[in-house]
Structure 1
Amino acid sequence: MKTVELVLSPAEAFNEEQFETLLYKKLGLKKDGDVYVQPVKRSIDARSRNVVVRVQCELLSPSEKKSPTATTTYQQVGNKQQIIIVGSGPAGLFAALRLIELGVKPIVLERGADVQARRRDLAAINKDHFVNPESNYCFGEGGAGTYSDGKLYTRSKKRGDIRRILEIMVAHGAKEEILFDAHPHIGTNKLPKLVAELRQSIQDAGGEVYFNTKVVDLILKDETIKGVVLQNGDRVEGEAVILATGHSARDIFHLLHQHNILIEAKPFALGVRVEHPQILIDQIQYHCTGDRGPYLPASSYALVHQANIEGQDRGVFSFCMCPGGFIVPAATAPGEIVVNGMSPSRRDSKFANSGIVVAVDENDFKEYAKHGALAGMIFQSAIEQKACVIAGGTQLAPAQRLVDFVDKRVSSSLPETSYQPGLASVEMREVLPKRIAQALQQGFRNFGTRMKGYLTNDAQIVGVESRTSSPVKIPRDKDTLEHPQIKNLFPCGEGAGYAGGIVSAAMDGERCAEAAFARITNKS
């Protein structure tokens, strides 16, 4: 095996039909089976005015070439021991597939609709301003990631096998380029089909998946979980419960709190979405004067600044940047405004948006301390409700031109937006806590010095970006992954505080499946 790096033009690197053939040609190799060229990383290098694409490749002999191990055919587990999984986001789906590999039957319970039916619920938010609290951009098959972007980049290198997760996605319909792109992305328009294929694999193997099935209570005996109670009164029992409910299932946090099950307040981040014309971001990042051309993808950015507010350092950073994307309404209940970002697979919207958020700690929500471990969540909810009231009480989102926000002026008009329900021009400092607003103003000034043209009134901020991560952590043993108080309960994924995106949640789902399997195997 030998690793080489090729420097290609965008036209060479992103021509899907010619890419593989071109690699052999550039290396002077024949595609005859003697040597295989396998791309392992493709990344854009825009440091100079001449933008290039760097492609790292492995040259493999026939004996070294490995075929993907992922499959869509799994063993039958219909009559095996069963483990309950609450939630069908990436953590829940990948936990289910791993349990099947281990010979256990998963019972997946999802409060929301399947991916197809869920589209109607999303349309109702965008067009009619109606929020279904059970099925929306956060709840439903595939979880929050399915209809809010589909970025697969993760820094969680030590938590599991990233390649394995991506190969399972490829086996279920994702393009092979996610295996080597530096920042892999599937796209909101492509993810629903992939999610449905994952579900089909679970069902074909004898696993069970139920939609519109809300868990409202836990079956507990002698500090051991025996199963769950559904909204219709049915009881579902299993050998263990993997709790993979996502960062917005506030009712589950309330339920654990009511049962005096140990949970903890967790720091998170709060802020806004900033929306620019994509062509402006391209011109800044790619050093071009016109459009970026037919081959370069819509450009992105990553920014961070340490603001100083009242003598305290506050991290201000970009989050979930969506080039060529849309801002979407991510509320999970009527009477609140929450925004998130998403990009279709082509990233061909004329807008770029990114969360710009400020780190929040317990000092920010100390007035809610009486709520104990739920203090951060109640603080988060209060801001979302305030945003809704100030913007008019519908799903109109509060917004302000970027320079106007920094200079403390109400915008007399707003630019065109990708946010379908519409915007209301407000003074965003009335929506955001004072210290958060001040940190954002400092951050935007700093970003404007580092990306010339970024700080412009052709951009606007839209609020609030509040669901960056769970405001509650459900503790677990670092080795067994079991809750320290309740036996056979395995807190999992982003909602429990152990993941931050599709891939890290999927890896955590697999780890929890393995831990639950070890627990029931040792017990029996």
Structure 2
Amino acid sequence: MLKQELEVLLAPEVAFDELARYEAILQQAGLAPGEADFVHLRRRSIDARGRQPLVRLRADIYQSAPPSELFGPWFVYPNVKANNPRVLIIGAGPAGLFAALRCLELGLKPIVLERGRDVRARRRDLAAINKDQLVNPDSNYCFGEGGAGTYSDGKLYTRATKRGDVGRVLRRLVQHGATPDILVDAHPHIGTNKLPAVVQALREAIIDAGGEVHFETRVTDLLLDNNQLRGVVTATGATVEAEATILATGHSARDIYELLHRRGVLIEAKPFALGVRVEHPQELIDQAQYRRIDRGLLPAASYSLVHQTEVRGEQRGVFSFCMCPGGFIVPAATAPGEVVVNGMSPSRRDSRYANSGIVAAVELADMDVKQYGPLAGLHFQQQIEQLACRAAGGTQHAPAQLLGDFLKNKQSASLLETSYQPGLVSVQMDDVLGSVLAERLRQGFRDFGRKIPGYATNAAQIVGVESRTSAPIRIPRDKDTLRHPEVAGLYPCGEGAGYAGGIVSAAMDGERCAEAVRAAVSR
């Protein structure tokens, strides 16, 4: 029986010690140890607003044994048979994997097609990018089992709480090997070193229950019959048919957007964001946020920043994106001849660098590529990435500039050490970003420097380009059925379709699409 709900502020050395935390919570509740059988920690966050950082905890105190639902439920996947309705799922990122798991629960047979390699074989392709600067267009930091999140971070925080059951997604991840801390932390994070094992366990659960997962299987055409999608054609010429297709390819599958456009499937250009990664010493961010460099038990400090800019009479937001405390900058290109950067953090967040995307909103009016119709944003994005590659010498070296020099519009004579393995080349970032986007970023950095002491100086450097924050295209769907408005059997899903923005929101969207398919095939 629930006895009391409590919120407390504790010193880190108490909050992260199980026995000390238990005693402190009971003391603040006015209870002796024998008066409570169980203390359930519901939420944990860092409160760094005072002179000394504290840990804010929300806890439930139980007078007797707590309810069993606190520890589950774990999900049981019934074995699907060959004659169950077949659902094609294109892409094995979080949207695709969670769509497949939900299909199993609903009695549907998922058939997952992934262009990239499985999560372990994929490591060799990432090593080739970092060490040899060779980009495999089908297996890289964006493509492959687990999608872009597997080897580029593992952050699980989302604001999309009305789009599905966040707790359900987190419990699935814990069931398949993620740390239970993600059920408690306000900004949960698995870590790119631990997420591959979780992704592999999700795949094994799908296969064990009778689903299928096929790697190195790239979709090259659609089986369209009078606006009815019957299935797909793969690069080998094989055809795969199903009652419905969930398209969960992620935001970087440009060939899929081009295929849809070529086959007359309605797609729409949409705004996105573009900018750079900024890299600081983690100690600088720790000092600014915690007022001390020695964090002790506290995690590496992070930040979230936003500023409204105005250039040539047009207002656009500039904001931090995918901030990676104690992390690394990684090469996220999906084709030779382009340079794209992203950020990642290991579970311990113990790198000596902090990095974050700093990006500006790009509206359709900002793109001088209107001749491409709905593919305008895609081509604009691609042009910037190819320009970044040429500016840095045509390999996976990335163009970079000291932040203080960027604010003065001055090329840097030298650069700082970096976590970006392929290496950096000093350039004038205005030549890559263009004058308007560069000015927006300058206004943003100046404002961020007023908010965080030491932020906007030559102790940091910017690395380009951060261009894959979201899809530049939306694939429309009906808000109730989630089906494409013109093509029966097609269910656009996740980040690549424009309906999610991270691991958890993509996973929830995958579940929703599976439920929509179940409703459709039941009629």
Give the TM-score of the pair, scaled to structure 1. 0.96
Residue type at the aligned position of 1:170: V
Cα contact 1:307–1:316 (8 A) shared by 2: yes
The corresponding residue for 2:216 is 212
Residue type at the aligned position of 2:479: K
Structure 1 residue 14, shift from structure 2 partner: 2.9
What is the alpha-carbon distance in structure 1 between the residues aligned to residue 21 and residue 423 of structure 2?
A: 41
Cα contact 2:286–2:295 (8 A) shared by 1: no
Structure 1 residue 177, shift from structure 2 partner: 1.0
Structure 1 residue 25, shift from structure 2 partner: 6.9
The corresponding residue for 2:188 is 184
What is the alpha-carbon distance in structure 2 between the residues aligned to residue 22 and residue 507 of structure 1?
A: 36
Residue by residue over 1:45-96, the C-alpha shift from the partner in whole angstroms, topping out at 9 and shown as x without a partner, is 1101111001001224536452443436411003222100000000000000
Q: Given the alignment, which residue of 3, 6, 10 partners 1:4?
A: 6
Residue by residue over 1:135-164, the C-alpha shift from the partner in whole angstroms, topping out at 9 and shown as x without a partner, is 000000000000111000000010000000
More deviation, 71-80/61-70: 61-70
Cα contact 1:15–1:295 (8 A) shared by 2: no
The corresponding residue for 2:352 is 350
Q: Note if 1:96 corresponds to 2:100.
A: yes
Residue type at the aligned position of 1:127: K
The corresponding residue for 1:115 is 119
Q: What is the percent sequence identity of the aligned residues?
A: 62
What is the alpha-carbon distance in structure 2 between the residues aligned to residue 458 and residue 509 of structure 1?
A: 42
Structure 1 residues 350 and 216, CA, compared in 2 at 3 Å: closer, same or farther?
A: same
Cα contact 1:248–1:332 (8 A) shared by 2: yes
Residue type at the aligned position of 2:114: E
Structure 1 residues 249 and 33, CA, compared in 2 at 3 Å: closer, same or farther?
A: farther
Residue segments in structure 2 that go unaligned for 5+ positions in a row: none
Structure 1 residues 258 and 354, CA, compared in 2 at 3 Å: closer, same or farther?
A: same
The corresponding residue for 1:127 is 131
What is the alpha-carbon distance in structure 2 between the residues aligned to residue 231 and residue 94 of structure 1?
A: 25
Q: Note if 1:409 corresponds to 2:410.
A: yes
Residue type at the aligned position of 2:13: A
Matches within 5 A, 1:338-417: 338-365=340-367, 367-417=368-418
What is the alpha-carbon distance in structure 1 between the residues aligned to residue 412 and residue 424 of structure 2?
A: 12
The corresponding residue for 1:335 is 337
Residue by residue over 1:80-123, the C-alpha shift from the partner in whole angstroms, topping out at 9 and shown as x without a partner, is 22100000000000000000000111000000000100000000
What is the alpha-carbon distance in structure 1 between the residues aligned to residue 311 and residue 89 of structure 2?
A: 43
The corresponding residue for 2:276 is 272
Residue by residue over 1:341-394, the C-alpha shift from the partner in whole angstroms, topping out at 9 and shown as x without a partner, is 0000000000000000000001111x2111110000000000000000010000
What is the alpha-carbon distance in structure 2 between the residues aligned to residue 157 and residue 43 of structure 1?
A: 18
Q: Given the alignment, which residue of 52, 58, 65 partners 1:62?
A: 65
Residue segments in structure 1 that go unaligned for 5+ positions in a row: none
Structure 1 residue 431, shift from structure 2 partner: 0.3
What is the alpha-carbon distance in structure 2 between the residues aligned to residue 327 and residue 389 of structure 1?
A: 19
More deviation, 311-320/378-387: 311-320
Structure 1 residue 395, shift from structure 2 partner: 0.1
Cα contact 2:6–2:29 (8 A) shared by 1: no
What is the alpha-carbon distance in structure 1 between the residues aligned to residue 51 and residue 102 of structure 2?
A: 46
Cα contact 1:12–1:19 (8 A) shared by 2: yes
Q: Note if 1:248 corresponds to 2:252.
A: yes
Q: Note if 1:321 corresponds to 2:323.
A: yes
Give the TM-score of the pair, scaled to structure 2. 0.96
What is the alpha-carbon distance in structure 2 between the residues aligned to residue 33 and residue 112 of structure 1?
A: 55
Structure 1 residue 40, shift from structure 2 partner: 1.3
The corresponding residue for 1:47 is 49
Structure 1 residues 59 and 78, CA, compared in 2 at 3 Å: closer, same or farther?
A: same
The corresponding residue for 1:227 is 231
What is the alpha-carbon distance in structure 1 between the residues aligned to residue 320 and residue 46 of structure 2?
A: 19
Structure 1 residue 228, shift from structure 2 partner: 0.7
The corresponding residue for 1:477 is 478
The corresponding residue for 1:159 is 163
Structure 1 residue 458, shift from structure 2 partner: 1.1
Structure 1 residue 250, shift from structure 2 partner: 0.2
What is the alpha-carbon distance in structure 1 between the residues aligned to residue 489 and residue 327 of structure 2?
A: 41
Structure 1 residue 13, shift from structure 2 partner: 2.2
Cα contact 1:483–1:491 (8 A) shared by 2: yes
What is the alpha-carbon distance in structure 1 between the residues aligned to residue 237 and residue 418 of structure 2?
A: 44
Structure 1 residues 89 and 70, CA, compared in 2 at 3 Å: closer, same or farther?
A: farther
What is the alpha-carbon distance in structure 2 between the residues aligned to residue 282 and residue 344 of structure 1?
A: 17
What is the alpha-carbon distance in structure 2 between the residues aligned to residue 16 and residue 397 of structure 1?
A: 45
What is the alpha-carbon distance in structure 2 between the residues aligned to residue 92 and residue 322 of structure 1?
A: 25
Residue by residue over 1:270-308, the C-alpha shift from the partner in whole angstroms, topping out at 9 and shown as x without a partner, is 0000000000000000012xx233301100001111111
The corresponding residue for 1:74 is 77
Residue type at the aligned position of 2:38: Y
Cα contact 1:72–1:172 (8 A) shared by 2: no
Residue by residue over 1:18-37, the C-alpha shift from the partner in whole angstroms, topping out at 9 and shown as x without a partner, is 75676557657677896432
Cα contact 1:85–1:92 (8 A) shared by 2: yes
Give aligned pairs, total: 519
Structure 1 residues 226 and 6, CA, compared in 2 at 3 Å: closer, same or farther?
A: same
